[in-house]
Amino acid sequence: MFVGRRQKYLSGPKQSIVSFLSILAFPLVPAPDYSGRAVTAAAGTGDHKEIPSMKHFMIKYQFAHGTSEEWHREVGRFIAALDSDPELKGRISYRVMKNRDDASYFHLAAAADEAAVKTLQSRDFFKHYTEKTRQVAGGEVTVTPIEVIGETA
């Protein structure tokens, strides 16, 4: 499906386009969880360890409205609010990246458990940030549930 100059690729049930408000709402965004926990091995050692089964999401959009400087300050305020909230600190991981060559943004979000999600969704700073994200993206935000296959220590 074409949207303006952008093209969205829909690849079956593993990718979904949903409201940004539901990025961490597990009941609304079904994410396949085949094993419950992932296992990784240190290279060449045979030493296996479990990776906690957190829910991960990638949020993508094209920056369309406002200035990037103000948007980056808004992102910083949201991350500071996450880090300073005593109930959320260490339970929500959030990273924002931008393609160097265009206006594409990618956010990686992870929640330790459903209680962290519910707490986050109840916060005014989350509601404000969600609306700001929708505004800078011109309403076009794509949220994709993702799963970790392996990671470094």
CA separation for the pair 59, 113 (Å, rounded): 19
The answer on pLDDT for 36 being more than 70 is: no
Alpha carbon separation from 68 to 7, 32, 62, 111 (Å, rounded): 22, 34, 12, 27
Which structural domain range is residue 39 located in?
Answer: 2-146
Q: What is the mean pLDDT of residues 58-64?
A: 97
CATH number at residue 33: 3.30.70.100
Sequence-separated contacts (24+) of 81-85 with Cβ below 8 Å: 81/123, 81/125, 82/120, 85/119, 85/123
User: For residue 27, is it within any domain?
Assistant: yes
Contact 119, 87 (CB under 8 A): yes
Q: What is the mean pLDDT of residues 146-153?
A: 90
More confident residue, 129 or 57: 129
CA separation for the pair 114, 94 (Å, rounded): 16
pLDDT tens digits for range 89-136: 999 999 999 999 999 999 999 999 889 989 999 999 999 999 999 999
The domain tally of the chain equals: 1
| pTM as predicted | 0.66
